[in-house]
Structure 1
Amino acid sequence: MKLQCDVEVIHRMLPTYGLKNRGRGTRAVLSIGKHLDKTTRRNNIYLMICTQKDRAGSKYKADANSLKNFLSAARLAHRGSDSDTLPLSTLTPVRARDVERPKKKLAILSKKDYPLTSNFPYSLEQLQVSYCKLSRVDMRMLSLKSLRCLDLSNNHIKKLPETIGDLGCLAELVLHNNHLETFSAALCLSSLQRTLKLLDLSRNRLHALPDQFCQLRELISLKLDNNLLERMPSRIGQLSKLRSLSASHNKLPFLPAGFRQLSLENLDLFGNPFAQPNSLDHTMRLTFPLALQEMASRAVLDLRIPFGPHLIPAHLCKELELAKTCDCGRTVVDAFIQMVVSMNLHLVSHMVVLVDDMGSTEAPVQRYFCSLACYSQFLDICLRRGVR
Structure 2
Amino acid sequence: MSTYGSLFRVTTYGESHCASVGAVVDGCPPGLQLSAADIQVQLSRRRPGQSNLTTPRDEKDLIHLQSGLEHGVTLGTPIAFLVKNEDQRPHDYSETDLYPRPSHADYTYLEKYGIKASSGGGRSSARETVARVAAGAIAEKYLKLAYGIEIVAFVSSVGKIHLPAALAPPSLTPSSNDDDEDDALSDDFRQLLATISREQVDSHPTRCPHHETAERMTQRIIRAKNAQDSIGGTVTCVIRGIPSGLGEPVFDKFEASLGHAMLSIPATKAFEIGSGFRGTEVPGSKHNDPFIRRSDGSLGTATNWSGGVQGGITNGEDIYFRIGFKSPATISQSQETAQYDGTPGSLAARGRHDPCVVPRAVPIVEAMAAIVVMDQLLIQNSRKTAASLLPPITTLPATMVMPRKVAEGSPGN
- TM-score, scaled to structure 2: 0.16
Q: Which has the higher helix share?
A: 2
Instruction: Name which one, 1 or 2, has greater alpha-carbon Rg.
Output: 1
- TM-score, scaled to structure 1: 0.17
Structure with the larger RCO, 1 or 2 (CA within 8 Å, 6+ apart): 2
